[in-house]
Chain A
Amino acid sequence: MMADEIKQAHYWGLVAFFNRGKNSDSNGTLKVEESAIGGFSEFADLSGESTPNYLTFLETETVSEVRPDGKEEQEDSDDLYQANGSPLFARVPKFSRREQFVKQVVRDHPRLALAFVNRIWAILMGRGIVHPFDEMDSMHRPSHPELLEWLAEDTRQNHYDLKRLVRGIVRSQAYQQTSVRRAGLEDPASFAWYLERPLTGEQLARSVMVALRGSADSDVVGAFRQQFPEVLPETYVSTIKDALFLSNGSILQKAIEESNHPDHLIPKHLEMESRDEQIRSLFSRLFCREPDATEMEVVATYLDARKERSVEALQQVVWSMITSAEFRFNH
């Protein structure tokens, strides 16, 4: 939201929905408890005029609530809380501001369905109909407003049926476009080709392990996640630090070197007697395709030049494949 679309009352309203929470560790377990009283204040605008902090959220009606008069002290008592609470959980006020907030959002907030479908669309399609998907405001207009509205309406009417929405999108022609961008296509917001997207840090770490060892178990997930923290980036940005991490970092190198069990990728391929078979199999395992003639020749030349240290040579070829764009992107 842009600042001029958010009023002071929205800011203080949002504060009020949450300002009765407090940490408690009664019975030895940490929990967030909500008080049934307090949290009333006023805010002043630039002219000095003050307004109560009503329970106000964007684009919905203010939640009504009994406010104490003037300096009247409110007294906390068990009557104000739901009776059937468990000692394991924090007690819940009969009138819970936080619950009111949730209702404001999930009970047909005008933006809920729009935000919901836009986010799912972004996850599946690589960018939102409103892009970035989490900035749905006057600055960021939908590329296809009718489509967004239509999907939102359908989702609303079908009680936010996620499966229905996902099914609808993945069965569309737009989703099934080739990832090869045809000449003349420039604007990713046209969804005229399948937008390639980087694997997340975790996907990359696990994919590397599947390639090297045939199992997604990986002790390098943490390091990769830290290096590649983005999950749904607005645009893919490749930094030289990422390249350095993969080129000179010990994490990937160690993972490659330690994948030395007879069942693993590199030992298995070392045993293959035919250079042809070896390279074809590597491409099949790492790129899921056949190499073309030039690729065959280039990789064979690389390996042949290093016959005396075939383990290192094969490790280097595998490195160059798993750090290449074809492995890095979902396409």
Chain B
Amino acid sequence: MSKRGCGSPEHLIHRRLFLEGTMAGASASAASFSGQFSIPAFAKTTQRAAKKCILLWLCGAPSQFETWDPKPGVETGGPFGSIPTSLPGVHISSLMPQCAGIMDKLAVIRSMSTKPSEHFQGIDALTRGDTPRPPFTRPILGSVISQQLGQIDSPVPQFVLLDPCPEGNEFKSFKAGNWAGWLGAEYGPVRAGGDYSIPNLDRLDSISDLDHEDRETLRQFLSRKFENDQRSDAAGALNASFQRVRGLMSCAPLFDLNQLPEEDRNRYGRGAFSQHVLQARHLIENGSTFVMVANGMPWDNHVYQHEMHQMLVPELDNVLFQLVTDLDQRGLLEDTLVIAMGEFGRTPWLNEARGRDHYPNAWSLAMAGGGVDGGVVNG
């Protein structure tokens, strides 16, 4: 446990307000994210600075012991040691040598404590800020941030979800859910990934650009009439997604990873998760407000957790290092918050299959940038 110079009192308040926002699930706060951002002073500050956010969503929930909070030497500590970091006295897992070198830029919370111990409830609580409140659906963090801080008329999508399989895989039922909730479908994410591109972004040759636009205007006219006459939320959602088509088409090159330098692509690593993190940086640099990078659900290691984490953690270590370093060098880190977290932690003990099970009582996450002081380890 250690703390380094916390900065001015203003910073303290600043950080606390933010933490309340990101971790409302932990404190069982009844307020929504937008409630947090309605604190006028805070909202003004963030807007002025055009804050952005990249969420590395470690779905399945990584082990705190093999990442930020190692306990070497104890019976269930696992085979991996701990290493010193650029912060005197602070050790993290030996699987994370690169992040150890930039600990002065990271803020690590080792005292996360949440309630839900199952994935979907955990994901919901951590990304929507609280437990469900039927019949209303809380918007997801990215929807709230992009609504509050984003530029709604920008053609560049403000909220992007990158995942190897954006419509399917293990956390499919979560992904199929209503992300934007009560904010409305226009604040839902643009989903991309897998082949690092979005299908059907190019206009067919059989229609001119002008006709393409007019045809859409006619479609909106007919479809909006139905939406209004029926007072239909579903029709509203449909119309909102069509409304974004032309804007997204205009920034198609942003989604083409092949336009990024080969050197960058190799530096991040050629895995889907790594490439998506690079793509997230690219999108943030070009006007997106919130990019969420997921990787299916690989972290749920009830079986052979050491072997699995031995593969997963070094990849995380590298991309987090590359991302934070890049943002810093490009002068973007001050205004871009990077969060790496899952939906809970893993048990201190090992199960029969040498796995770690779900453990929401005490776990860890890491942040960098966005005005959050680096070199802080809490808990």
Contact = CB atoms under 8 A, between A and B. Distances in A.
Among A243, A257, A299, the most chain B Cβ lie within 10 Å of the Cβ of A243
A302 interface: yes
A59 interface: no
Interface in A279-319: 295, 298-299, 302, 306, 312, 316-317, 319
B204 A196 contact: no
A240 B237 contact: no
Interface stretch (A63-71, A77-85, A323-331): A323-331
A302 B225 contact: no
A248 B202 contact: yes
Given A243-B241, A324-B226, A329-B235, A237 B178 contact: yes
Interface stretch (A96-104, A165-173, A176-184): A176-184
A181 B135 contact: no
A325 B234 contact: yes
Contacts of A326: 222-223, 226
A235 B136 CA distance: 12
Contact of A189 (B135, B202, B237): B135
Interface string B178-213: 110000010010110000001111111011000110
Contacts of A240: 157, 190-191, 241, 244-245, 248
B199 A243 contact: no
A247 B218 contact: no
Contact of A325 (B121, B177, B223): B223
A289 to B, nearest CB: 11
Contact of A319 (B185, B215, B234): B215
Contacts of A88: none
Contacts of A250: 204
Given A180-B229, A247-B242, A253-B204, A321 B235 contact: no
Centre residue among A188, A229, A326 by max chain B CB count within 10 A:
A326
A263 interface: no
B231 A44 contact: no
A182 B202 CA distance: 40
Contacts of B191: 239-241
B351 to A, nearest CB: 8
B148 interface: no
Interface residues of A, number: 56
A230 interface: yes
B192 to A, nearest CB: 9
B199 A244 contact: yes
B113 interface: no
Interface string A24-52: 00000000000000000000101000000
A239 B241 contact: yes
A227 to B, nearest CB: 9
A46 B350 CA distance: 10
A180 B216 contact: no
B211 A312 contact: yes
A245 B199 contact: yes
Contact of B238 (A188, A245, A328): A328
A235 B351 CA distance: 37
Report which residue of B134, B176, B232, B248 has the largest number of chain A beta carbons within 10 angstroms of its beta carbon.
Answer: B232
Given A317-B218, A324-B222, A196 B232 contact: yes
Contacts of A245: 199-200
Nearest to A187: B135
B300 to A, nearest CB: 13
Interface string A184-209: 00111100000011100000000000
Contacts of A247: 200, 212, 216, 242, 245
A243 B245 contact: yes
Nearest to B185: A238
B234 A236 contact: yes
A125 to B, nearest CB: 15
A241 B199 contact: yes
A248 B117 contact: no
Given A237-B176, A245-B199, A247-B245, A179 B230 contact: yes
Contacts of A262: none
A45 B264 CA distance: 48
Nearest to A324: B223
A245 B212 CA distance: 14
B307 interface: no
Contacts of A317: 218
B304 interface: no
Given A239-B167, A240-B191, 17 more contacts: A46-B351, A179-B230, A180-B229, A181-B231, A182-B231, A183-B231, A197-B234, A238-B241, A240-B241, A244-B198, A244-B245, A248-B202, A248-B204, A323-B219, A325-B223, A329-B235, A331-B232
9 contacts: A197-B234, A233-B176, A234-B177, A241-B198, A243-B241, A244-B200, A245-B200, A247-B212, A253-B204
The 10 tightest CB contacts between A and B, nearest first, are A325-B235, A324-B223, A320-B219, A244-B200, A187-B135, A248-B200, A181-B231, A326-B226, A238-B237, A243-B241
